[in-house]
C-alpha cells in the first residue's frame, strides 16, 4: 500500500440498518477495503429521536462510542451511562449493550471496534 492519504466524506458514505436497528455507515473497515491497518473498524451511527437500539453484544470485540450529537443513555450490562456530545464510552467484550435516544434530534456517534466488527461476533438478544 502506498502512503496516499485516505479520506471519506460523511455526505457520500451510505448508511444501512444494522442488526441492532441503528442507522450505520462503515467509514473504515479493513475487511471492506485495502487499508494500512487491520486492528479496528470505524463507523458512524444514528439513532432517531426517541428511538433505541436493541440489546446486543460483541463477543470478542471492544467498542468505543464517541458521541458527536444528541443526548441519551447507553446501558452496559444493565448499568445506565448518560450520553452527551463529546463523551466517549468503552464497552468491553461480551457486555450486553443498547442505546436509548432521549432527545428530539438524532443521536449520532462514532463506533470504534477492535478487533474490527464482524457479523459472526455480534449477538442480537
**CA 80 from centroid of its chain's CA atoms:** 17
Contacts of 56 (CB under 8 A, 6+ apart): 19, 20, 96, 97, 98, 122, 123, 124, 125
CB of 109 closer than 8 Å to CB of 68: yes
Q: Does some domain include residue 95?
A: yes
Q: Does some domain include residue 31?
A: yes
Q: Does some domain include residue 97?
A: yes
Q: Does some domain include residue 5?
A: no
Q: Does some domain include residue 9?
A: no
Residue-wise pLDDT for 27-64, tens only, equals 777 777 777 777 889 999 999 999 999 999 999 999 99
Residue-wise pLDDT for 77-105, tens only, equals 999 999 999 999 999 999 999 999 999 99
Q: How many CB atoms lie within 10 A of CB 14?
A: 7
Structural domain boundaries enclosing 89: 16-35+42-124
pLDDT band for position 121 (cuts 50, 70, 90): very high
Q: Does some domain include residue 3?
A: no
Model-level pTM?
0.82
Q: Does some domain include residue 4?
A: no
Provide the CATH number for the domain around residue 114: 2.60.120.10
Structurally, how many domains does the chain consist of? 1
Contacts of 14 (CB under 8 A, 6+ apart): 25
Amino acid at each position: 500500500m502506498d502512503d496516499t492519504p485516505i479520506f471519506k466524506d460523511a455526505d457520500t458514505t451510505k448508511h444501512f440498518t444494522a442488526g441492532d436497528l441503528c442507522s450505520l455507515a462503515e467509514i473504515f473497515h479493513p475487511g471492506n477495503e485495502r487499508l494500512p491497518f487491520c486492528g479496528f473498524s470505524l463507523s458512524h451511527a444514528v439513532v432517531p429521536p426517541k428511538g433505541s437500539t436493541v440489546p446486543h453484544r460483541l463477543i470478542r470485540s471492544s467498542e468505543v462510542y464517541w458521541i458527536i450529537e444528541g443526548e441519551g443513555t447507553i446501558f452496559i450490562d444493565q448499568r445506565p451511562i448518560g450520553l452527551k456530545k463529546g463523551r466517549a464510552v468503552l464497552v468491553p467484550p461480551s457486555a450486553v449493550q443498547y442505546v436509548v435516544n432521549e432527545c428530539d434530534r438524532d443521536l449520532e456517534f462514532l463506533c470504534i471496534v477492535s478487533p474490527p466488527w464482524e457479523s459472526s461476533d455480534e449477538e442480537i438478544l
